[in-house]
């Protein structure tokens, strides 16, 4: 989905999602070739599938010690949307998600137990888990 938004505070309309720039503006030729090879291999192995969605995740490369390129895929926005969806009824009432942390608020010991139980139950229902260290 895509739309254009006009705001009285904004000097000009902007698109949601923002328009994508051509590969040549973002990647060097070496990175473009590496990206094409990575996508072809990932498609072949079934790790990814073709999509016509106008929305995507960030993709970039990090230089390896040996000089090669390692692909990095940024799923932050996708993860945020997923967490917003599963915690919609709790978000802002007694919990919030910040990056990869779930913050739970309470006023009493009884509320603490109730809220933590609700969050952990929701995670379990969606086959997710929380790290005990955090």
| Domain total in the chain | 2
Residue 23 belongs to some domain of the structure: yes
Same domain, 54 and 16: yes
CA-CA distance, 134 to 128, in Å (whole number)? 15
pLDDT digits (tens, 9 = 90+) for 37-48: 888 998 999 988
Of 74, 96, 117, which marks where a domain is finished? 74
Please list, in sequence order, all residues whose beta carbon lies within 8 angstroms of the beta carbon of residue 4, skipping any fewer than 6 positions away. 13, 14, 15, 16
Predicted confidence at residue 2, as pLDDT, reads 44
The model's confidence at residue 13, banded by pLDDT at 50, 70 and 90, is: low
Same domain, 69 and 117: no
pLDDT digits (tens, 9 = 90+) for 68-118: 888 888 777 778 888 888 999 999 999 999 877 899 999 999 999 999 999
Same domain, 42 and 11: yes
Residue 133 belongs to some domain of the structure: no
How would you class 53 by CB atoms within 10 Å of its CB: exposed for 0-12, middle for 13-18, buried for 19 or more?
A: exposed
Predicted confidence at residue 15, as pLDDT, reads 54
């Amino acid at each position: 989905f895509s739309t254009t938004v006009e705001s009285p505070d904004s000097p000009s309309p902007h698109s949601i999602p923002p328009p994508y720039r051509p590969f040549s503006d973002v990647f060097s030729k070496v990175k473009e070739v590496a990206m094409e090879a990575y996508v072809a291999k990932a498609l072949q192995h079934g790790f990814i599938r073709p999509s016509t969605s106008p929305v995507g995740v960030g993709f970039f490369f990090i230089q390896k010690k040996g000089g090669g390129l390692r692909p990095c895929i940024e799923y932050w926005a996708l993860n945020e949307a997923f967490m917003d969806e599963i915690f919609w009824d709790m978000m802002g009432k007694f919990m919030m998600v910040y990056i990869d942390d779930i913050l739970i608020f309470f006023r009493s010991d009884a509320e603490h137990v109730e809220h933590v139980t609700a969050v952990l139950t929701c995670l379990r229902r969606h086959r997710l888990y929380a790290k005990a260290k955090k």
